[in-house]
Amino acid sequence: MFDEVLSISQAFPFLCTMAKDKRYETIKYLIASGHIVRFMQIFELDVIPKTIVAQDLGMHHQTFEKLLKDPERFTYKQTFRIASLIEVDAKVVRDLIYAQCIENKGKK
């Protein structure tokens, strides 16, 4: 038996070599500088296409569009994955989604 459990990235490094889109770094900077305070601003500012984010999340772009229209439906798992892509704390993404939900409720 193994004395130590290996992570997937340690056991199969070739599976983790896909390059991450550099635009996620821009999103991280815009969030940190206060330019992005709601989740939809990522796409309103044309930082990265929705289709790229959907693809990186492993979902169909139409499914992602539905989540954007009703952000309350984002799961914690999806929130953690988005945070991982942007390299921010999951709470930051959750707060962006929450702010978007509040704004959407004000429009109704």
The reply to whether 6 falls in a domain is no
The reply to whether 75 falls in a domain is yes
Give me the average pLDDT of each 10-residue run along the chain (108 residues): 50 57 96 97 96 96 97 96 97 98 88
pLDDT value at position 14?
A: 47
pLDDT value at position 16?
A: 52
CATH number for the domain including 88? 1.10.260
The reply to whether 26 falls in a domain is yes
| Residues 6+ away with beta carbon under 8 Å from 20 | 56, 85
pLDDT value at position 19?
A: 73
pLDDT value at position 106?
A: 85
| Domain count for the chain | 1
Annotate 81-102 with DSSP letters as a single string: HHHHHHTS-HHHHHHHHHHHHH
The reply to whether 95 falls in a domain is yes
- Domain of residue 80 covers 19-107
Enter the pTM of the model: 0.79
The reply to whether 82 falls in a domain is yes
The reply to whether 39 falls in a domain is yes
pLDDT value at position 20?
A: 87
The reply to whether 8 falls in a domain is no
pLDDT value at position 10?
A: 54
